[in-house]
Structure 1
Amino acid sequence: MNWTDERVELLRKLWAEGLSASQIAAQLGGVSRNAVIGKVHRLKLSGRGRTTAAPARQKKASSAPASRPARAASPARATAPTVGATALQVQFDAEPAARQHLRAVDNNVVVPISRRLDLTQLTERTCKWPNGDPLSEDFHFCGNEAGENGPYCAYHARLAFQPASERRRVR
């Protein structure tokens, strides 16, 4: 595919209007999104026109009453723009939704006091949770009763074996 002068001018016009590379590629026809992105970079077209979603957000933010108290800064959450979405443009929510992920509290599990056992003192029924640096003199294992379900006491088993859904949420 050759970039003719007419196609380059149409590319410049559509890019300035804020269309995405995919949208421009569809309008030009016979060219891929990546080809459009490459041509935009070679032409050094950095200035973008505003999409219809951007001015609406600015008006919303500027229309707030002056007597309103300032809020504490919080991390913004990125959202996909509704019009003219591109990989080069990201918009943020003015007020991200605060999420708290709390595990249900099980009152039956108590933080154990370590029995401070050495490796040679461990048995099949003692908790093998390591405490400290293995190279230091103070290194020891929990040593509380592990039960028949695994190598750790109830408390350390909850730390070691978290449900997959909770691990994904933390990331």
Structure 2
Amino acid sequence: MAWTDERINQLKTMWEQGMTASQIAEELGGVSRNAVIGKAHRLGLQSRPSPVKANDSEAKAEERRAAAPPPPRAAEPVPAPVPVPVPAAAPRPAPATTAAAAEPQSPPAEAAPRPAEPAMRSVGPGGFLRQGPGDQQAPIPPAPPRRLVPAKPSADIAGKTSLLELNDRICKWPLGHPGEPDFHFCGVQVNPGFPYCVEHCGQAYQAQLPRRDRRPPPPLPFGGPRVR
């Protein structure tokens, strides 16, 4: 049912009289309790405390009063104690100051330092000790650059062609065995178009023999290839 001006005025009147939302819904008819509460909030009517919460608070207050301990009874008068004479205490003699007491006390000796516990290290699969989290060392500064100095030539190859002296115009035929002190290269003028001189070209490049003068190939093992 729609909210007409007459029903709205009737709602305001019953709301101000303190009637509950259920009672207002029964009086108006055709609306529910929630509809009455929603319309009252939209109209800006003053909100009221919930009766359920008020009843709950009163019941809790009654329970607290019932559970509270009874007030203490008035204490009976206690007779005043009879004063008893106390003998005066004899004066204490002043402590004698000795020479040992007059000397300043030496400070207590410091406790001996505790021995450092051995650090536990983890051993890697290869038998090396892994570095712990607190054992990180500062980076090592780089070494100063070195100036390369050519090695002094051996006296055995004095006047002979070394590896550093090779170029395209001299013969590169090695003489001797690498690692020997007198190992050097030929150094003679090359044969044009070849890396060696005329003499060493005759050793490096050998003509093939005619086919009739060639040696027959060695026989295959086990009597030759197997025929399938």
Q: Which has the larger radius of gyration?
A: 2
Q: In which range does the TM-score fall when normalised by the shorter chain? A: 0.3 to 0.5
Greater relative contact order (CA < 8 Å, ≥ 6 in sequence)? 1
